[in-house]
Chains A and B, each alone.
Chain A
Amino acid sequence: MTLPAESTSKRADESVQGVSELAGKYLTFSLANEEYGVGILKVREIIGVMEITAVPHTPPHIKGVINLRGRVIPVMDLRLKFGMPAKGYDERTCVIVVEVQGRSSAVQVGMVVDSVSEVVNIAGSEIEPPPSMGASTESDNILGMAKVKGEVKILLDVDRVVGEGLLRQFEEM
């Protein structure tokens, strides 16, 4: 009877192994009543929403470009990206500026979220692999699910979210 027990614990070890490298500090934010997290090392800064210049011939979730202290950076609306209903921007709306690897160099991209919550330290043991939900590409955007203080936070793979939502878009064009 020891065998199954061993294999179970082994599998548990593996899953811990698989996600423990995700342990670290995350910036959490809310989006349509759900809490999300992005790795703090990806985040460059958080700014209030400002006037966005629309860019033609782009998908709806690309809101346009903003002037980030002299740099022009694209901004995407995460609600629209994830197919959630749009919501008017208010004083709690924030733009999280993240840095991802572009085709040739690192690019900064703004992500519009409902509101920014806090920075939390998430241990490896609190993270579970993403639930498999069929072949949905949306679950590819998720690194894992973290349970912190009884709340579930969805940890986003920023490179993928931004990459799919922005960069790849233009590679195809």
Chain B
Amino acid sequence: MPQDEHAVAKILDDMAVKILMVEPGDLSVVGELLAAAEDLLATRDEVANLPVLHAMAHAFKSALERMIMGELPDSAENYELLGKAITQIQEAVRKGADMDEAGVEAFARHLSDAGYLVSAAELLGDPGQVGPKEEEQAAAAAPSGDDASASPPPEEEAEPATAPAAPEPAATGSGGVPDFLQDKELLGGFIDEAFEHLESIEVNVLELEQNPGDLDIINNIFRPFHTIKGVSGFLNLRTINKLAHATENLLDDVRNGKREMDSDVIDLVLTVGDTLRSMVENIKDVLENGPDRYQDLDISAQVAHILALQEGKSPADSAPEAAVIDEGAAAPEDQAAPETTAPGMEPADSFTALPRAGQPSNSEGPAPAAANGQAAPRKKMGAFIKVDVEKLDALVNAVGELVIMQSLVRQNPLVSKIADPKLIKDFSQLSRITSDLQHTAMSMRMVPIKQTFDKMIRLVRDLSKKSGKEVNLVMEGADTEIDRNMVDSIYDPLVHMMRNSVDHGIQPPDERVKHGKSPTGTVSLRAYQKGGNMVIEIEDDGEGLNTIKIKKKAESRGLIQSGDNLSDHELNNLIFMPGFSTADQITDVSGRGVGMDVVKKAVEKLRGKVEVQSQSGKGSLFTIRLPLTLAIIDGIIVRVGSERYIIPTTAIQESMKPERKNYNTVHGRGESLLVRGELLPVIRLYQLFGVEDPTHNDPCEAIVVVVENEGRRRALMVDELLGKEEVVIKNLGGMSDVRGVAGGTILGDGRVGLILDLAGVIASAAEES
């Protein structure tokens, strides 16, 4: 049985590593350790042949449990002692024989030092001692497949040598207001962990839909349930424990090939995830607002459903249930063939050593791949550290300052006169370093957009189920990076547009077939970087926009005149106009244009642009263009008198020196400028901002910049265009709500320049006139 021996060694190695890394109070790692200890006990065939080793593992597990219950000090020293205890077990396994007395004594000493009193004699199986008896029980219980991690009843805790491992999982009652509030810190940790786990479950389930039968993914779903079950057990969160446990059992069957991961199971896992989430949210509420908030959800129906699923459809051709688990050790013999059952109680997180046998689901194709390439498909994960955002901002600020100071020094008249080639060389070296530094500092704020994209999977799935449409979501470029601060803001518009694409873009299957399309619609979600922008595209192969209807609607709404000669592209983009979004139009305009102005507003807030391309009957393509980061803005610096302002480049359409014949003043209606056939109101920036010394008072002498904001175009009158620059946006200290000003920036000479907020400028100009 070399295979199983490896399994044991592997588990031990894992445990040894974990115990090295664990920090006091880190519940999740202790939970994993405990799970590993259970796995160790579960490799029954191996361990059962070595009763002393089994006893040691058992004692170790009990010690661990007592530590979690807070009876043993949760200290670094104790972890070290536990680590030494593991080393003893490891040695025993390596020798391949049962433990010698000296080793057992050392082991017992380590545990006793840690506060868990156990004698070598007990472990050696001295009859009459309590330990072995308990072990027999546990050993007898193990084959039933139950993981023994349910919360140990309190009576057992009192007796040091007793192993509180009697399996009683689903049986644990859900009694009234719970005793889980004992350790709020642990509970808080659990809540955070649980949310993360639930999220990963969801993502993996949806991934599994794409790659049915991928054992890696199934394991990725199984593991978080296992952890949630384990930890909730210690914390006496019985309802959560019960539900997680039942689901885990079901998934275990799937893992072992006794059951297929069909859509029933997937649906169930998703609903269980939702239920668990609401329960954890409730616990969080309890933690924040007191125990009276506690709600004990009735999960019996769900558990019954799980059990029904579990018993209902076991594939008849697979080995009998008991055999699969009991014959776990038999797996190695068939291991070469792809079609084997997986070893019964394989450790949940064996990353490399064990070749996992794929369970053939529908096709035989993917199974061998899963079996042979276990290590390869796992995504490469780098190491990460969490850093306070404020520190990051401080770094970015400091680097920005460094860049400015550098240019100030270089521009110093005395310095710039020096013609020393070495100095010039050093300067260019210096600026290379600073720009590298700036680039790195900026990139630290970037995160992949994957997280946001992943949420869309669930959205599309739910939407398509609800509307009875078949939709295939294709995602590309989820690794594209986006400014951390934008992630949250982009979520809502994306949801809006995805919903539109599925709800209104994709037609029902029968209609699609009528139009000669495949019954399954495709929605593509793409992200990529292009020319200093982040581009997100949402494309569907559905109905497309009905340009004629849009035109009619726009005319009736007064958005365009019937004589206006607009291209289809321009007409389609009218759906982003504010007036285009009342509920009754959903059906009128082939279902499009629902709140698209909201999308546009949100995107513009991020200084981005959104547009649509569509072909009636073929589909639509929505393109969102966003700046890579919110911290930097691409702007044109303009001068008005002695002040300088920055106008965001995204808003600028053109700039010109107006001709006198195009300039009109209408009495009482202000002044306007005819630009490409359109009369634009002129805003004199010096007037609006109270600048006292403008160079020009006559618009035809000055420069006008044509800007657009939310569909309104204006001609801004300035004295001079100074240039285009990428500037770092900073807020104005306590003054955050200055009308017409979006923020400030440090210009090349060290002075502050104000960045214009065009929405505010246009609004306040309208008020003043």
Contacts and interface: CB of A to CB of B under 8 A. Distances in A.
Interface of A: 51, 53-58, 62, 64-67, 69-74, 100, 102-103, 107-109, 162, 166-167, 170, 173
Interface string B731-769: 111111111110111100011111000000000100000
B766 to A, nearest CB: 14
A54 B643 contact: yes
The 9 A-B pairs of least Cβ separation, nearest first, read A70-B401, A56-B689, A107-B734, A53-B752, A72-B744, A73-B733, A72-B730, A74-B733, A170-B737
A55 B738 CA distance: 8
B690 interface: yes
Interface string B391-414: 000000110110010000000000
B688 interface: yes
Contacts of B733: 65, 71-74, 107-109
A36 to B, nearest CB: 21
B725 to A, nearest CB: 16
Interface in B620-670: 643
Interface of B: 397-398, 400-401, 404, 643, 688-691, 730-741, 743-746, 750-754, 764
Contact of B731 (A54, A67, A72): A72
Contact of B735 (A66, A69, A70, A166): A166
Contacts of A71: 397, 730, 733
Given A65-B744, A173-B739, A74 B734 contact: yes
Contacts, number: 89
Contacts of A108: 733
A55 B401 contact: no
A107 B736 CA distance: 11
Contacts of A102: 734
Nearest to A100: B734
Given A108-B733, A162-B734, 9 more contacts: A53-B744, A56-B739, A57-B764, A58-B735, A62-B735, A69-B401, A72-B733, A73-B733, A170-B736
20 contacts: A53-B751, A53-B752, A54-B691, A56-B688, A56-B690, A56-B740, A57-B738, A67-B752, A70-B401, A71-B730, A72-B732, A72-B744, A74-B732, A74-B734, A100-B734, A103-B734, A107-B734, A166-B734, A166-B735, A170-B736
A72 B734 contact: no
Nearest to B398: A70
A55 B754 contact: yes
Nearest to B400: A70
Contacts of B744: 53, 65, 72
Given A54-B643, A67-B746, A170 B401 contact: no
Contacts of B745: 72
B405 to A, nearest CB: 9
Given A69-B401, A70-B398, A71-B397, A55 B753 contact: no
A70 B751 contact: no
B739 A53 contact: no
Contacts of A72: 730-733, 743-746, 752
A107 B731 CA distance: 11
A64 B741 CA distance: 12
Contact of B740 (A53, A57, A73): A57
A56 B732 CA distance: 12
A51 B740 CA distance: 22
A55 B404 CA distance: 22
